[in-house]
Chain A
C-alpha cells in the first residue's frame, strides 16, 4: 500500500512546485499592496525563456533565464501600475495576453525539441527518514529550492524589518510614505520578485516537469496561483499546503484516468479548476477573516502627493 502511495506523494510535490514558486512570488507582491493578474503570462514567458536557456546551456542556466525573463516581464506591469497608476487588474490581464503571445511566438522555434530534465537527488540522512524521507527528500534540487524559498520568506515576513516594511507598505502606503519609506521602489521590488518567481515556476515546468515546450503549457497554473494566495490568507505556510493540495489534485486526476475510473477524462481534467472555485467560495465567504489578513491597500493605485 505504502509503496504505491509514495510515488503519488512524490509526484504531488513535483506538481506543486511551480505553484509554490508562483504563489509565493505573488504573495510578496500582494503583501506590498499590488495584485498582479499577469502571473499566467509571466510563467509562460519564464517557461519559454527557460526552455531556450536550457537548450543551449543546460537546465540550471535555463532556470535562471526563466527567473530573469519573469522579472523582466513584470516590468511593463510595474511601470504602468506604479509609475503611472494604471488599473492593476487590466494591466495584469495585458501582461497575461502579452505573455501568451510572446511565448507562443518565441516557442515556435522549440516545438518538438526535447530536454534531458533534471535527475532527483536524494539528500543523505534526511532521505532515509521513513515515509517522509522518500517523499520530501528524494526530489529534484529545484524542489529543495522551493523549500528554501518558503523558509526564507516565512522568516523574513514574520521576523525581520524587511518583512515589517513590506507589510506596512501594503497596509497603508500613505502612512509609509509620510514616515519616509519609498513606497513605489518597494513595490517595484516586490512586483519584480513576483515576476521572477513566476518565471522560475514556468521554467521549472518547461525544463524539468514536462520537459517540453508546448504552446500555452502553463494551462491556468498562473491563475490558480493567484487564487492560492487568497486561499492562503497571505500566509506562506498555508500557501505551501494549498499548493500541495492542488498538486495532489492534479496527480490524482491523472492516476484516476490511468486506473480507468468510469468518469470521462475530460471531466476529470476539469477538477483542479472546479476545486479552485470551491476553495474561493469557502475562503471568501468569511469576510471578517478575509479583511483581517487582506493587505488593506491591495489593488488600489498609490499616487504619492509630493
Chain B
C-alpha cells in the first residue's frame, strides 16, 4: 500500500465508493486515529467494529467533514477529495445518522429535514416528499409533528429519512441500535438491506458483535485508534471478533447466589406523575418491590419515563409519602438528601454535571453526597482533610485511575469517573442502590469491573436497582427484569423465565401506545 490510488483497485474493477488511506488524527494528549485505512464498495454494508474510545466516531466525523484529518488521504469514487464541512459531504452524497440525534426539539419533522437540504425553501412540497420517501422505505413519519413529541425510534426515522432525501451514495450509521428494541432492529436491517440492494454503500458503526455478524458483508476492527484487522464477520466467531476488538476474550461476570435473608428494601406503590414539562414524559401507576440481595433491572428506552422514575425514586421529585417506601418507611415526601440519610444511594446517568461537579476536584466532589459521613462536616463547617482522605480511599478501593484527589472531575475518563461515583455511593454503606445506565460510554474493561461491583454489593445484602437501555447488560447482571415503556412498568420477571425477544415486545408494545 504505497500508493493511495491503488487501494481497493485490485479487488474490484469499479473504484470503491470510499477509500481511506493512512488517516491520522491527533487530539491533545491522544491519537484518535493512527494510520487508519479502509475501503467500502458500492452496495456494500461495511462494519466498523470497536469498543468505546477506539476512534470510530472520530473517523466518521472525518468522513462527514465535521473534523479534519491531520494526515492521510480520502478517495471518493476513486478521486481524492478534501471534505471541508458536512455540507460538502452531503454534496458528494454522504449521509450520516448520528448516535446522539442531531435534531431540533421545538421544530417540526419537515423543518428539521429542510435544514439540511438546499434548493428552494418550500416546506409544503418537502412534506409531500418526506411522506413518499418514508413510506417507500418502511419508515412512516408525520412531517408536521414536533420532534419533541416523537419516540426515540421515530426520531431515528427522521434522521434516516433526512439522509435519504439527499440521495446518498454512502450512509453512515453510528451505533444506530443502541436505542431500538430487538424487533425495531430487524426492521432497520430490512431498510438497510433494501438500500444496499439499490447500490447505496453503508458504513455501520457498532460494538455489538451479533448485529454485525447478522448484517454486514465486511468488518474493519479498530482498537486504540488503530485498525487491528479486517474480516468477513459471517465467517468469524464472536470470540475471534472480540479478540480483535479488545485484545482478549470478553470478560464475564459471576453472580453467586445470595445467602442472606431477602427482605423488601425499596417498594413503590401506585406512583403516578403528570409531567407539566412539554418535553418530558409522565408516569402511570408504577409499582415495584426490590429485595435485599438482588439486582433488579428496568429495561426500556430513555424517554419512556426513565428520567421521571429516577427523579421520583431519588427524591429530586417529591411524591405522596406512601408511594415510595424505604425499608418499610414512607419516604415519598422526603428530598434527595434526606432519603440518602435513610440509606438510599443513587448514581445518575449524567456523570458530569449531575453525579459530579465537572470543575471541582475529586475531594470536593466527595462532599457532594458524602458530607453526612462522620468527620466531613461539623458545626456547618467542612473538613476538607477528611474529604481528601475519603476520596483517597475511594480511589484505591475502586481502582479509579487519576492523578490524585486534586484532579478535576472533568479530567477523568468516563469509566474512571463512573467508578469514582459508584465507589463514593457504596462507601456510604447504602441499603438501596439505584444506578442509571451504569456503563454508558465506558470501555469494556471498566464496564466489567462496574458490573461485577454491582453484583457484589447486592450479594452483601443491598438492594440494587439498575435502569439501562442495554439489554445484554441487564441479562448479564440482573436477577429479575421489568420493562418501563410509555410511563408504565411491567411485572418484573426472573431472568431465567424471559428472554430478549419477550422484553423487546414489552418495550415496543407500550411504546406504540405512548406514541
Contact = CB atoms under 8 A, between A and B. Distances in A.
A180 interface: yes
A161 B121 contact: yes
Interface stretch (B100-108, B195-203, B251-259, B494-502): B100-108
Nearest to B148: A292
Contact of A180 (B87, B103, B111, B121): B87
Given A288-B276, A292-B278, A168 B107 contact: yes
B515 interface: no
Given A175-B102, A179-B116, A291-B279, A306 B121 contact: no
Most chain B CB neighbours (cut-off 10 Å) among A165, A179, A181, A296: A179
A164 B111 CA distance: 7
A160 interface: yes
B235 interface: no
A165 B276 contact: no
Nearest to A295: B106
Category for how many chain B residues contact A: 20 to 34
A7 B113 CA distance: 50
Most chain B CB neighbours (cut-off 10 Å) among A160, A176, A306: A306
Given A292-B106, A292-B278, A180 B114 contact: no
Contact of A160 (B66, B103, B105, B121): B121
A296 B106 CA distance: 9
> Do most interface residues of chain A lie in helix, strand or loop, or is the interface mixed?
helix
B287 interface: no
B278 A179 contact: no
Contact of A172 (B105, B116, B121): B105
Given A164-B115, A180-B65, A288-B277, A172 B104 contact: yes
A167 B278 contact: no
Contacts of A181: 115
A296 to B, nearest CB: 7
A102 interface: no
Contacts of B104: 167-168, 171-172, 175-176
B86 interface: yes
Contacts of B85: 180
A56 B76 CA distance: 61
Contacts of A291: 277-279
B398 interface: no
B67 interface: yes
B122 to A, nearest CB: 10
B98 interface: yes
A145 interface: no
Contacts of A303: none
Nearest to A165: B115
Nearest to A182: B85
B121 A168 contact: no
Interface in A124-180: 160-161, 164-165, 167-168, 171-172, 174-176, 178-180
A165 to B, nearest CB: 7
Contacts of B68: 306
Interface in B40-99: 65-68, 85-87, 89-90, 98
Contact of B102 (A179, A287, A296): A179
A213 to B, nearest CB: 43
B67 A288 contact: no
Most chain A CB neighbours (cut-off 10 Å) among B98, B106, B116, B278: B106
Most chain B CB neighbours (cut-off 10 Å) among A172, A175, A292: A175
B277 A178 contact: no
Contacts of B90: 180
Category for how many chain A residues contact B: 20 to 34
Contacts of A165: 115
Interface in A173-218: 174-176, 178-181
Given A161-B114, A291-B279, A167 B107 contact: yes
A113 to B, nearest CB: 49
B404 to A, nearest CB: 26
A164 B102 contact: no
Interface in B346-393: none
A80 to B, nearest CB: 19
Interface string B121-142: 1000000000000000000000
B114 A296 contact: no
B380 to A, nearest CB: 29
B106 A171 contact: yes
A178 B67 contact: no
Given A164-B111, A164-B115, A175-B104, A180 B86 contact: yes
B86 A178 contact: yes
Contacts of A175: 101-104
Nearest to B146: A292
A174 B98 CA distance: 12
A296 B86 contact: no
Nearest to A169: B104
A220 B509 CA distance: 57
B434 to A, nearest CB: 27
A306 B67 contact: yes
Contacts of A292: 106, 278
Nearest to A159: B121
Contacts of A176: 104, 115
Given A178-B86, A288-B277, A164 B107 contact: yes
Nearest to B86: A180
B105 to A, nearest CB: 7
Most chain B CB neighbours (cut-off 10 Å) among A168, A175, A180: A180
Contacts of B107: 164, 167-168, 171
B278 A288 contact: yes
Contacts of A180: 65-66, 85-87, 89-90, 116
A287 B278 CA distance: 10
Nearest to B58: A306
Contacts of A288: 276-278
Interface in B450-494: none
Contact of B115 (A160, A174, A179): A179
B86 A179 contact: yes
Contacts of A171: 104-107
A171 B105 CA distance: 8
A66 B276 CA distance: 44
Contacts of B66: 178, 180
Interface in B160-193: none
Contacts of B106: 167, 171, 292, 296
Contacts of B105: 171-172, 296
Nearest to B278: A292
Contacts of B111: 164
A178 B65 CA distance: 10
Contacts of A296: 105-106
6 contacts: A168-B107, A174-B102, A175-B104, A176-B104, A180-B89, A306-B67
Given A164-B115, A180-B66, A291-B279, 11 more contacts: A161-B121, A164-B121, A165-B115, A167-B104, A171-B104, A171-B106, A174-B102, A178-B98, A180-B86, A288-B276, A292-B278
